[in-house]
Structure 1
Amino acid sequence: MSYRIVNGKPYLVGNLAAPSQTSKSTTDVSKKSFKDILNEKVNSKNYGYKISNHASERLKDINFSNADYMEIQRGFDLAKEKGAKNTVMVYKDVALIASVENNTIITAVEKNRAQENVFTNVDSVVIL
């Protein structure tokens, strides 16, 4: 029985896994360029919660500052302390519907668009 040392670890000869010989086809290539993906990662802010695509589209029109997003994080913290699962956060004439369990803002509704709307499946309200 013989051994081969690879990266400081002994392996029995014959047990080495051969590198896979996969070739990339044109269907595997992402439609985004490396530069686009890198810019998204660099410019993305990590507030401790996620923003869904739907909420992101709505928040583009609202123009929150970094301080506003930090205040929303405080809202998540308050809701978690009370054991909330799904909450409505009211902040600056905007209702943010959030899943506290998943740390995700599901949608955002401005005051002028929220008239005659009903929010269901919500167990708490956080007023910031």
Structure 2
Amino acid sequence: MIHNNSGFLSIEQVQSQYPINKTEKGRGTVGVQNSDFGKILSQIENSRDGVKFSKHASNRLSDRNIELTTDQMNRLNNARNQASAKGINDSLILVDQLAFIVNVPSSTVVTAMDSQETGSNVFTNIDGAVIA
């Protein structure tokens, strides 16, 4: 056992306090999945209800009196999932006459516009598009 004078425990002293699961390659991993922390993480992951809206996007929808139907929200969420599956980071998602720029990794709509606002139909800073 290694002793130190810093007041901190050594790795050997702490090691016995945490369960280690052996993987097929022989490396040890801390058993997070079965721990309380792992269970809480799973609950958080499972409780996400799809995309969230940035303050800017919420303001844009509110200013234009745009309310999304349940069907449109489902299509927006499905399109976000498709973009994620393709490895897209920032996507243009078109739902009916609405256009959304979505940061896919964070599932956040960063801006929203209707057909009257798209103007020149030029969108920048995206690396993919999904028509839902």
- TM bin, normalised by shorter chain, reads 0.5 to 0.7
Q: TM-score, normalised by structure 1?
A: 0.60
Identical counterparts, % of pairs: 31
Q: TM-score, normalised by structure 2?
A: 0.58
2:78 is the counterpart of 1:74: yes
Deviations 1:9-62, CA, capped at 9 Å, x for gaps: xxxxxxxxxxxxxxxxxxxxxxxxxxxxxxxxxxxxx63221001111122321
Q: Which runs of 5+ in 1 are unaligned?
A: 1-45
Q: Is the 8 A contact 1:47 1:69 kept in 2?
A: no
Alpha-carbon RMSD across the aligned residues, in angstroms, is 1.4
Deviation at 1:120, TM superposition (A): 1.3
How many residue pairs are counted as aligned between the two chains?
83
Determine the structure 2 residue equivalent to 1:59: 61
Q: Is the 8 A contact 1:47 1:70 kept in 2?
A: no
Deviation at 1:90, TM superposition (A): 0.6
Distance 1:113 1:66 in 2: 23
Distance 1:105 1:63 in 2: 14
Deviation at 1:64, TM superposition (A): 0.8
2:125 is the counterpart of 1:127: no
Determine the structure 2 residue equivalent to 1:85: 89
Deviations 1:79-110, CA, capped at 9 Å, x for gaps: 01111000000111111001001110000011
Determine the structure 2 residue equivalent to 1:114: 118
Determine the structure 1 residue equivalent to 2:51: 49
- Deviating runs (4+, > 6 A) in structure 1? none
Distance 1:49 1:63 in 2: 15
